[in-house]
Structure 1
Amino acid sequence: MTQTTTTPIIEARGLGRKFVVKRTVFGRPLASVGAVEDVTLRLMPGETLAIVGESGCGKSTLGRLLMRLIRPSAGEVFIDGQNVTNLSHAAMRKQRRHVQLIFQDPYASLNPRMTIAQTIAEPLMLHNIVPAGQRAWRVAELLEMVGLRPEQASRYPHEFSGGQRQRVVIARALASEPKAIICDEAVSALDVSIQAQVLNLLKDLQKRLGLAFVFISHDLGVVKHIADRVAVMYLGNVVEMGTADEIFAVPRHPYTRALLSAIPVAAPPSHQRAKAARLCGDLPSPLSPPEGCRLHTRCPYVRPECKTVSMKLDVEPNGHANACAFWRELPAQDAAEVAREPRNPKLEELFAAFEAMAKRPAQTVTGG
């Protein structure tokens, strides 16, 4: 179909996934965990949607659901306007070239027995994108696009550094000419300087190729630099969604405030936030989540209604949505403290340096 600016690249409607964790000796399910529940979101062409939250909140599962790597238990997934929820494996393979995935550990996602040329050429062959005689030329072009030298194509993954391997994974993702890429903790295993290089590379590719990104991360300092919109997840549910500027400036949900207040601030203790939003207690078991609002067992602003009424996303006229019905009544002082912009001077310095380098003629990368 013809792509228009009003058609989402990826759309999820009421998406959910449960995993059976215990069965009887006859195979009947006894217990299940709701990894993702009732998630609705859209990824528009050319934008970056960040999905953030604690470990185990369902971010990676949601990313795999959006690609239809796993089949949802509830809801629907649309890729470029087509419902792919129940497509067969063969039909899904044709659709999957439009959405690619970058894993957290680049070394684990590369076959150590295959050269880089073979790795990048594989999607070209599977999807029959270029004739066999032109694949070597296309591999060289993709390597140059991500800042590597064409002569490095004959090497194996163990001969590269972590940052270079991540560039190889990005080149492989670009080989199928996708419209969207899902980045699952794509820079969390890298040093800060290499993070800045890879993030600037992704931003540059987005600008040049019109890519859309789903950026899954627990590092809000990184998210602030790359995201257009942010979805905050807690125990499988999206509890707040809005533009990155709104999320970082005026967070509505107590959980979002707690996440932002946990970002390290480069300042002496006497200059740090005097009264940060903190959660109480431990994360509840996903096997038996609390009734009502799932945050009520940890929320410092809990009310009796929170323990019985299940909160749904309330969408404001400007499109910002959050699942706390009492956010307007939260202490203003806490909100101001949480909204104080977190700074990572080292990361900001590196971003500025690499953005300046991006304005110069393209160069290949020999290290990192």
Structure 2
Amino acid sequence: MTDFQTPILEVKDLSCHFVVKRDLLGRPKAKVQAVDDVSLKLMPGETLAVVGESGCGKSTLGRMMMRLIEPTTGKVFLDGEDITALGHHELRLRRRHVQLIFQDPYASLNPRMTIGQTIAEPLKLYNILPASRRRARVDELLSLVGLRPEQANRYPNEFSGGQRQRVVIARALASEPKVIVCDEAVSALDVSIQSQILNLLKDLQARFNLAFIFISHDLSVVKHISDRIAVMYLGKLVELGTSAQIFAAPRHPYTRALLSSIPVAATRTIRPPASERLVGDLPSPIAPPSGCRLHTRCPHARAECTSVPMALEADAYGHANACPFWRDLPVADLGLDGRESRDPRLEALFSAFEAFAAEGRAAP
């Protein structure tokens, strides 16, 4: 991670509430609180992972960072500029610096356009290069992501899932972005292909000093690609710290529950304690619980959790969490320090990841 003082992307008090029911006069009657009062900073060259259960607001947060979804309240700053205050034309020009990689590479590609046309579209949209030089740039981008220039005349259905994701990455790079939001960018791919795409992203990050927002539910992948991790629950940010801090010493009960759910090898003798498991069902985001939103499922909940709003508090090392009682939680062996804690199915992924990282190159 590159050490800079000024964040490349910053969100302040960002919230997004979707109206799901109106009265006879059209006034909002019920709202889904998808994201509620989230503040984050992303530094140049950094990978910030956003993790949590399905429905916790990860993808909504990522799309609000690009203003693909308009925030209800809060602001988004790109290079110090408030992009939430920009009009349509100005926003379109700034958006070239923040690109998005979707989860499904096939759904995000136009089946009627060739790969070359797809990658050239941002060059044309932002007038980055004259028409005479665009094909050469497309060939360069294809080579950069491990594809052959002659494949530019093919259509998306002629490629595998991993190859299509490489095309999506090439399209994102075409606009010369500073930030790329990866929304479950590898979750739809096979494990062996995941390692190739992850190594490609790390290689491109080192080469172009890119900053990544890496949205994922796969904590095993997040551990090995992220510099910092933000944990979300029911639209709220509950813990924020470096990857080492989160995995070595998780503080919030929700983070501990997430980490205890990581599959472990069958040979491991120490299993994650049952005391870290959440109970009950996920509350409705239309009417989230008062106080700490986790208290209805938390095995360590106490009376104060039902009424006192829980805010993030950081220590001197930047490790922040929203549980003021974390020091009273029992010490638990979550089985995250040794290699034996990994799911055997992921061994091939991380063996390849570590080998290519040691050689300082991307996977073929």
Fold similarity call, TM over 0.5: yes
Q: Give the total of aligned pairs.
A: 360
Q: What's the counterpart of residue 239 of structure 1?
A: 238
Q: What's the counterpart of residue 68 of structure 2?
A: 69
Instruction: Please tell me the residue identity of whatever aligns with 1:106.
Output: P
Report the 3-state secondary structure (helix = DSSP H, G, I; strand = E; otherwise coil) of the residue aligned with 1:85: helix
User: How much does 1:353 deviate?
Assistant: 3.2
Q: Distance in 1 between matches of 2:358 and 2:286?
A: 51
Q: Distance in 1 between matches of 2:316 and 2:353?
A: 37
Instruction: Give 5+ residue unaligned stretches, structure 2.
Output: none
Q: What's the counterpart of residue 184 of structure 2?
A: 185
Q: What's the counterpart of residue 337 of structure 1?
A: 334
Q: What's the counterpart of residue 250 of structure 1?
A: 249
Per the alignment, do residues 340 and 130 of structure 1 end up closer, same or farther by CA in structure 2, a change over 3 Å counting?
same
Per the alignment, do residues 226 and 160 of structure 1 end up closer, same or farther by CA in structure 2, a change over 3 Å counting?
same
TM-score by length of 1: 0.93
Q: What's the counterpart of residue 12 of structure 1?
A: 11
Q: What's the counterpart of residue 199 of structure 1?
A: 198
User: How much does 1:300 deviate?
Assistant: 0.5
Per the alignment, do residues 361 and 343 of structure 1 end up closer, same or farther by CA in structure 2, a change over 3 Å counting?
closer
Report the 3-state secondary structure (helix = DSSP H, G, I; strand = E; otherwise coil) of the residue aligned with 1:13: strand
TM-score by length of 2: 0.94
User: How much does 1:174 deviate?
Assistant: 0.3
Per the alignment, do residues 32 and 331 of structure 1 end up closer, same or farther by CA in structure 2, a change over 3 Å counting?
same
1:89-128 superposed matches below 5 A: 89-128=88-127
Q: More deviation in 177-186 or 263-272?
A: 263-272
Conserved 8 A contact 2:196-2:362: no
Q: What's the counterpart of residue 321 of structure 2?
A: 322
1:77-88 superposed matches below 5 A: 77-88=76-87
Per the alignment, do residues 18 and 208 of structure 1 end up closer, same or farther by CA in structure 2, a change over 3 Å counting?
same
Instruction: Please tell me the residue identity of whatever aligns with 1:61.
Output: T
User: How much does 1:271 deviate?
Assistant: 4.5
Report the 3-state secondary structure (helix = DSSP H, G, I; strand = E; otherwise coil) of the residue aligned with 1:337: coil
Q: More deviation in 261-270 or 210-219?
A: 261-270
User: How much does 1:347 deviate?
Assistant: 3.2
Pair 1:129 & 2:128 matched: yes
Report the 3-state secondary structure (helix = DSSP H, G, I; strand = E; otherwise coil) of the residue aligned with 2:85: coil
Instruction: Please tell me the residue identity of whatever aligns with 2:134.
Output: R
Q: Distance in 2 between matches of 1:354 and 1:317?
A: 32
Q: Distance in 2 between matches of 1:95 and 1:297?
A: 42
Conserved 8 A contact 1:276-1:338: no
Instruction: Please tell me the residue identity of whatever aligns with 2:51.
Output: V
Q: Distance in 1 between matches of 2:360 and 2:222?
A: 27
Report the 3-state secondary structure (helix = DSSP H, G, I; strand = E; otherwise coil) of the residue aligned with 2:129: coil
Per the alignment, do residues 194 and 235 of structure 1 end up closer, same or farther by CA in structure 2, a change over 3 Å counting?
same
Conserved 8 A contact 2:312-2:321: yes
Q: What's the counterpart of residue 140 of structure 2?
A: 141
Q: What's the counterpart of residue 28 of structure 2?
A: 29
Conserved 8 A contact 2:15-2:37: yes
Per the alignment, do residues 245 and 198 of structure 1 end up closer, same or farther by CA in structure 2, a change over 3 Å counting?
same
Q: More deviation in 276-285 or 249-258?
A: 276-285
Q: More deviation in 192-201 or 19-28?
A: 19-28
User: How much does 1:266 deviate?
Assistant: 1.6
Q: What's the counterpart of residue 262 of structure 1?
A: 261
Instruction: Give 5+ residue unaligned stretches, structure 1.
Output: none
Q: 1:320-343 deviations in whole A, cap 9, x for unaligned?
A: 1000000000011x2x33655531
User: How much does 1:352 deviate?
Assistant: 3.4
Q: What's the counterpart of residue 299 of structure 1?
A: 298
Conserved 8 A contact 1:148-1:364: no
Instruction: Please tell me the residue identity of whatever aligns with 1:157.
Output: P
Instruction: Please tell me the residue identity of whatever aligns with 2:45.
Output: G
Report the 3-state secondary structure (helix = DSSP H, G, I; strand = E; otherwise coil) of the residue aligned with 1:97: helix
User: How much does 1:115 deviate?
Assistant: 0.3
Conserved 8 A contact 1:77-1:84: yes
Q: Distance in 2 between matches of 1:284 and 1:241?
A: 22
Q: Distance in 2 between matches of 1:233 and 1:291?
A: 16
Q: What's the counterpart of residue 165 of structure 1?
A: 164
Instruction: Please tell me the residue identity of whatever aligns with 1:315.
Output: A
Q: CA RMSD for the aligned pairs?
A: 1.9
User: How much does 1:125 deviate?
Assistant: 0.3
